[in-house]
């Protein structure tokens, strides 16, 4: 039997709740989620790596990731752009997650645009489902995907957090609504 993966977890207080930051020993981000969704986070990890195939140990600032996330929440939005990530999704999921990382901060795209960007324009629902299975919120910015009508939809951390993140990044332009990637 293979040795379980060893993950390290730290906690970060943010303006919108406490964040769990999980990294591997190489300093790659494996998951980020809110402490009020820890059960969901563990379920996603079980799904990706297998139940009992990993351990999680508390650690202070694994790989400097907590410090970087703190900088993001203090206003250095670009701080997260180059963070190393590692996921274990399907090829389709990982293609969606790569596309999410290419959405510039301060911008939003629709689920239809996300599907187009991965070369599967008819796979809007599948792209939406993969977006929802993203284990590394904020850094793999699933919050930057909105409804075609500009509505804020589908964020696992809750719509108030999605709205806060988009405002924090300058993607919500007040009464005019979200700033799309095309504007």
The ranges assigned to domains in the chain are: 5-80, 91-176
CA dihedral of 131, 147, 103, 50, whole degrees rounded to 10: -10
Q: For domain 91-176, which architecture applies?
A: Orthogonal Bundle (1.10)
The catalytic position among 12, 69, 136, 142 is 142
CATH level 3 topology of 5-80: Double Stranded RNA Binding Domain (3.30.160)
Of 123, 180, 133, the C-alpha closest to 155 is 133
Return averaged pLDDT per consecutive 10 residues of the chain, 183 residues in all. 90 98 96 94 91 95 97 97 92 97 95 97 96 94 93 88 96 61 48
pLDDT at 105: 93
Active site residue 4: no
């Amino acid at each position: 039997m293979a040795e379980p993966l060893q993950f390290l977890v730290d906690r970060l207080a943010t303006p919108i709740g406490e964040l769990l930051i999980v990294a591997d020993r190489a300093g790659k981000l494996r998951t980020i989620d809110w402490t009020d969704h820890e059960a969901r986070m563990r379920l996603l990890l079980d799904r990706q790596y297998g139940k009992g195939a990993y351990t999680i140990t508390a650690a202070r600032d694994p790989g400097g990731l907590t410090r970087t996330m703190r900088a993001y929440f203090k206003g250095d939005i670009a701080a997260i752009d180059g963070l190393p990530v590692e996921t274990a999704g399907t090829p389709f999921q990982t293609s969606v997650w790569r596309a999410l990382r290419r959405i510039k901060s301060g911008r939003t795209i629709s689920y239809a645009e996300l599907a187009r960007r991965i070369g599967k324009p008819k796979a809007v629902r599948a792209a939406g489902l993969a977006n929802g299975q993203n284990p590394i919120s904020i850094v793999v910015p699933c919050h930057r995907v909105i409804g075609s009508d500009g509505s804020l939809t589908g964020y696992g951390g809750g719509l108030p957090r999605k709205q806060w993140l988009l405002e924090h990044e300058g993607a919500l332009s007040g009464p005019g609504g979200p700033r799309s990637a095309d504007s």
